[in-house]
Amino acid sequence: MLKQEITLDNLSNQQKDIVHKVTSQQRLSIEEGIELFNFDLGVLGILASEINKNKNKNQQKVFFNKNFHIEPTNICIYDCKFCSYHRKINQEGSWEYSLDDILKTAESYKDKDITEVHIVGGVHPHRDLHYYGEMIRKIKDILPEIHVKAFTAVELDFMIKKAHVSLEEGLKKLKEYGLDSIPGGGAEIFEPEIRKQVCHEKSTAEQWLTIHETAHKVGLPSNATMLYGHLESKKHRIEHLDQLRSLQDKTKGFNTFIPLKFKKANNPLSYIGEVNTLEDLKTFAVSRIYLDNFDHIKAYWPMLGKDVSQITLSFGVDDIDGTIDDSTKIYSMAGAKDQKPTMTTDELIKLIKEAGKIPVERDTVYNTIKEY
């Protein structure tokens, strides 16, 4: 169907076999996934775009939503080497919003056209699931129709243990409080030796996967992520994707996959620098090709920047996140280009249309709200 668009003469025999498998909708092995990184970027773009088109039923849709973030605190018990965000109690630059502060933020969106609040922050040493559960409940008292997507697996691991309940019981309790889904943060990179070097204190890869599997079991869908561009190799990236693909086979509970680029400012891994845009685009395209059971791949524009995010729409990406409304500091503190991340609906629509795509406003679980 698209082999004529790819110059097969320039490919190795292994790469030709991979193109055949992809165009025949056959699953790639880990070895074949690693080889994808040796492909020409243009070939990857063609393959990823074809998969994206098939997932979208031959329509070039790109999704976005209307959302805002709440980051209750950046106080964190962990000291991840890639993180520019975390602080200790009373350390300069730390914040710890009161419940009243957070509810005032929620109040400010009472009459706005917003469908999702995204709540993540540091792993605070004194707050358990009941504290955060009450926060969710009171936010929903103010915004009863809002979808609450909250707490990375690392946050959940700590707050549930602190409440002295089992993982399944804790997730069910948070669901009763009003939690609707969970984001994908905290996955970082699953490979144990690299994980030890970049985030040795936090929940293990096995714990992250177990938390998401249990969330899916109790009816909480989630997102998945991977932090790339630091100490990991291409092999580590594919092994990470492979574990996500295996869990998705089992639960079908992931909404989307989000590659997250390591940003170098103000953290102990700054000496590494950052990978270039070519590597960004390859990582997005490879993710789209390898994760055959994920319906959506998201480019988180506050991290990549608006321009690069727009380009990813030609490399398998079909979601560009949301309006954000200057309500997150996680990537701006790490040196992201957009220091005040916000886009209006009109700006998002324009960005998507300029890429030759169809803008579609969605809810958190990808139900269509409006097609533009």
Which letter does DSSP use for residue 88 in this model? -
- Strand 319-322 relative to strand 358-362, pairing: unpaired
Which letter does DSSP use for residue 187 in this model? -
Q: Which pairs count as long-range contacts for 202-205, CB under 8 Å and 24+ apart, including other chains?
A: 202/78, 202/80, 202/123, 202/154, 203/153, 203/154, 203/157, 205/243
Which residue, 113, 73, 146, is CA-closest to 323? Answer: 113
Cβ-proximal residues to 6 (8 Å cutoff; 6+ apart), any chain: 19, 43, 46, 47
Q: Would you place residue 325 in the very low, low, confident or very high pLDDT band (cuts 50, 70, 90)?
A: low
Query: Which residue blocks in the chain are alpha helix, DSSP H?
Result: 13-23, 30-36, 41-55, 99-107, 129-142, 153-162, 167-177, 192-199, 205-217, 234-251, 277-290, 301-304, 306-312, 345-354
- Strand 368-371 relative to strand 358-362, pairing: antiparallel
Which letter does DSSP use for residue 96 in this model? B
Comparing 49 with 326, the larger pLDDT belongs to: 49
Average predicted confidence (pLDDT) for the chain:
90
Give the amino acid at 343: M
- Strand 147-150 relative to strand 222-228, pairing: unpaired
Q: Would you place residue 86 in the very low, low, confident or very high pLDDT band (cuts 50, 70, 90)?
A: low
Contact 194/231 with Cβ under 8 angstroms? yes
What is the per-residue pLDDT for 336? Answer: 42
Residue 26 corresponds to which tokens in the numbers above? 């056959």
User: pLDDT digit string (tens) for 186-230?
Assistant: 999 999 999 998 887 788 999 999 999 999 999 999 999 999 999
What is the per-residue pLDDT for 9? Answer: 75
User: pLDDT digit string (tens) for 104-163?
Assistant: 999 999 988 899 999 999 899 999 999 999 999 999 999 999 999 999 999 999 999 999
- Answer yes or no: pTM beyond 0.85: yes
What are the structural domains of the chain? Answer: 3-55 (no CATH), 63-371 (3.20.20.70)
What is the per-residue pLDDT for 257? Answer: 98
Q: Would you place residue 329 in the very low, low, confident or very high pLDDT band (cuts 50, 70, 90)?
A: very low
